[in-house]
A and B are shown apart, each in its own frame.
Chain A
């Protein structure tokens, strides 16, 4: 069915269709509309879930953990400071191998108070064992949320999945949304280690170095296996519903000599910049990284790379730029842009490409124009 929706409404609609047994909810801008919309669905009876209005984000994730380990489907949503307040439990959810799905509306961290889009919030959670997907449109927020449940709950994965969408740029902008009849796309959840009073077990018991090491390796093994599960899920989604996704969304890359690598809405903006540059005769392409974890492979060989980071690791660099250097040996022109919701247009991005200086870092709006 074709409707018009905000990114928040799109996520809530997908959650309604996935029908989690337990939803923990705590408000934070710009995510609040997701948990408000779910409350409406629960109150109207459209969604039969236990809705827990927790007193903090730490408790939101703790409640999801307590629910999930009984073997039921769970969901929560957060943003920015909320994500970091639950940081301890974000780690716990992955370590406990619980397929919790969480939407995170990407927003900058204070101080000063800033409620606008930035990816640093979720990037700081990238080493927790969660799978992370970043979307570029309202439609994709909906589609990715549906797929997140199937991927998280897959027996070869059993890790939590975080669906990231840019604050306001997606959470609050209205786009067309094509909803689907999901049918059996998300199979019933089956958690092999669910709590069973007939077979009592200890969970999270004191664990010595040797055993702990094995459990960590198990997480990494599942993270690696998730690459195939994500691919299979995205193909199945395309087959059933006609919309195709990959770990990296490539745009006009076949003969590209320079590639813009970005995430979220900046990755979509880059596609427009590529069209502009092509009209000028610049053989440009763009690659929008969708999955930050597991981190994908990009075919960058022999190409100039312009990496745009809406994030920063102080004392190190833009996380995307540095990751491409580490995984692909790239020497990107590293552009830091869009922090705290700074406006970055396709014209700006085209400018980054025209005046690129491979190997250098450039802070847009702070340093003199390139």
Chain B
């Protein structure tokens, strides 16, 4: 049984939307990381939910930085702490746009250099902070403000890009499974070098479902196989139990899509694309877990 500390590092009265799973995720991330932590945040929803200067809802130092700069900024910070002999966790907490699109170069550079830090991408599958425009992480068929007819392309495979850098630890998570998220953050921070956690972050206003359903949406994503919980430790893949169960007895994808307004009227072609991406991801992870590839 994982003991999640009672200490809170994200205080009440944030300016997050009702039902925001970004702030829920951050709550568990910080509980796992503890007070000897600096958060590096590029432009994203988390830039806003901290509140307005001179106030902050965060009870750890947060360095806000330009959109494309988070991983590079963290590289400098990590090096400086190393130079000063300080053992402080450096965690980038970035949205999907800041990771898979504008921030991908800095992310790749930091991972290639072996920077000692943890990069967390909380993925609500669009540019949420600016009003839900499509990002590279938006799945096929999803309507956003720049894809009013539904996105024609599939979601960029961020995990495969990160895996190509061969980091010592990478994982996926979702705040609907808080203990799993908590222990993954703790495990990541116990390892030296570049670590990565990709967190699915259901978004009530962006995905257009009612705000009390965020936890349920995350669970449906996992149970339908649209989001697979796994870890890759020093190259070895482990598919986590909720996703193992989902691979044996999945709920239909439609149960995950149906409550979300962004998928309303999705075309059969887009639905087929979603299904095939989910199947391909599952097959690949199963093969990797068995050591076949």
Cα A24 to Cα B69 with chains together (Å): 14
A44 at the interface (CB under 8 A from B): no
Task: Identify the interface centre among B37, B58, B79, B81: most chain A CB within 10 Å of its CB.
Answer: B79
Nearest to B34 among chain A residues (CB) is: A197
The residues of B that contact A37 with a CB separation of less than 8 Å are none
Q: A59 and B83: CB pair below 8 A? A: no
The answer to whether A196 and B61 have CB atoms under 8 Å apart is yes
| A165 adjacent to chain B (CB < 8 Å) | no
- Among the listed A196, A202, A204, A207, which residue makes an inter-chain contact with B65, where contact means beta carbons less than 8 Å apart? A204
Contact with A along B236-261 (1 / 0, CB 8 A): 00000000000000000000000000
Cβ-defined contact, B79 with A206, below 8 A: no
> Which of B20-28, B107-115, B211-219 forms part of the interface with chain A?
B107-115
Q: Are A201 and B74 in contact (CB under 8 A)?
A: no
Q: Which of B36-58 contact A (CB under 8 A)?
A: 36-38, 40, 47-48, 50-54, 56, 58
CB pair A202–B62 under 8 Å, yes or no, is yes
How many whole Å from A294's CB to the nearest CB in chain B?
26
Chain B residues in 8 Å Cβ range of A344: none
In the complex, chain B residues 249-287 whose Cβ is within 8 Å of any chain A Cβ: none
User: Does B59 touch A at the CB level, under 8 Å?
Assistant: yes
A56 touches B109 (CB 8 A): yes
Query: Would you call A197 and B58 a contact (CB within 8 A)?
Result: no
For A92-119 the 0/1 string (1 means CB < 8 A from B) is: 1000000000000000000000000000
Instruction: Encode contact with A along B57-86: 1 for CB under 8 Å, 0 otherwise.
Output: 011111111101101111111111111101
> Does B205 interact with chain A (Cβ within 8 Å)?
no
B108-A197 in contact (CB<8A): no
Contact B69 A201 (CB under 8 A): no
A253 to chain B minimum Cβ distance, whole angstroms, is 44
- B153 interface contact, C-beta 8 A: no
Q: Which residues of the partner chain A approach B168 to less than 8 Å between Cβ atoms?
A: none
Residue of B with least CB distance to A205: B53
With A53-B113, A59-B109: A66-B52 Cβ-Cβ less than 8 Å: no
Q: A21-B83, A55-B112, A66-B40 are in contact. Are A197 and B106 (CB under 8 A)?
A: no
Q: Which residues of A contact B105 (CB under 8 A)?
A: 55-56, 59
Determine the distance from Cα of A276 to Cα of B48 in the docked complex, in whole angstroms: 63
Question: A206: which of B36, B48, B80 is its contact (CB, 8 Å)?
Answer: B48
Judging by beta carbons under 8 Å apart, are B35 and A63 in contact?
Answer: no
A21 in contact with B80 given A62-B106, A197-B35 (CB within 8 Å): yes
- Given B59, B73, B109, which contacts A200 in the complex, CB threshold below 8 Å? B59
CB-defined contacts of A55 to chain B, threshold 8 Å: 72, 105-106, 108-109, 112
Kindly report which residue of chain A lies nearest to residue B9, judged by CB atoms.
A200
Residues in A with CB closer than 8 Å to B106 are 55-56, 58-59, 62
Chain A residues with CB under 8 A of B68: 58, 62, 88
CA distance A154 to B86 in the complex (A): 25
A62 CB contact (under 8 Å) in B36, B38, B48, B73: B73
**B183 in the interface (beta carbon within 8 A):** no
- Interface segment among A68-76, A267-275, A360-368: the answer is A68-76
Q: Which residues of A contact B147 (CB under 8 A)?
A: none
Q: Which of A60, A67, A200, A211 contacts B53 (CB 8 A)?
A: A211
A200 to B81, CA, bound (A): 16
A203 adjacent to B64 (CB under 8 Å)? yes
Please judge, given known A-B contacts A54-B109, A59-B109, A70-B80, whether A206 and B69 are in contact too, CB under 8 Å: no
B166 interface contact, C-beta 8 A: no
A186 within 8 A of B: no
- Does any Cβ of A come within 8 Å of B133's Cβ? no
What residues on A are CB-neighbors of B56 within 8 Å? Answer: 201-202, 205
Q: Are B58 and A21 in contact (CB under 8 A)?
A: no
In the complex, what distance in Å separates the CA atom of A328 from the CA atom of B89? 53
A64 within 8 A of B: yes
**In the complex, A49 has a CB within 8 A of chain B:** yes
Tell me whether A67 and B76 are in contact (CB under 8 A).
yes
Closest to B82 in A: A50
Residues of B within 8 A of A92 (CB): 65-66, 69
Contact B58 A200 (CB under 8 A): yes
| Complex Cα gap A22–B82 (Å) | 10
Instruction: Check if B72 sits within 8 Å of A202, measured CB to CB.
Output: no
CB distance from B129 to the nearest CB of A (A): 11
Which of A50, A52, A58 is close to B69, meaning CB atoms less than 8 Å apart?
A: A58
Are B69 and A67 in contact, CB atoms less than 8 angstroms apart?
Answer: no
List the B side residues contacting A200 at CB < 8 Å: 35, 58-62
B61/A206 in contact, CB under 8 A:
no
Q: Which B residues lie within 8 Å of A195 (CB)?
A: 38, 61, 63, 77
A-side contacts of B35, CB under 8 Å:
197, 200
Residues of A within 8 A of B76 (CB): 22, 24, 52, 62-68, 74
In the A-B complex, list the 6 residue pairs whose CB atoms are closest, starting with the nearest: A55-B109, A66-B76, A59-B72, A63-B76, A202-B56, A204-B64
A residues neighboring B (CB under 8 Å): 21-22, 24, 49-50, 52-56, 58-60, 62-72, 74, 88-89, 92, 195-197, 200-208, 211
A sample of 13 cross-chain residue pairs with beta-carbon separation below 8 angstroms, ordered by A number, consists of A21-B80, A54-B113, A55-B112, A62-B72, A66-B74, A68-B80, A89-B66, A196-B61, A197-B88, A203-B63, A203-B64, A204-B64, A206-B52
Q: With A21-B80, A70-B86 given, name 5 new contacts (CB 8 A).
A: A21-B79, A55-B105, A70-B84, A88-B69, A195-B63
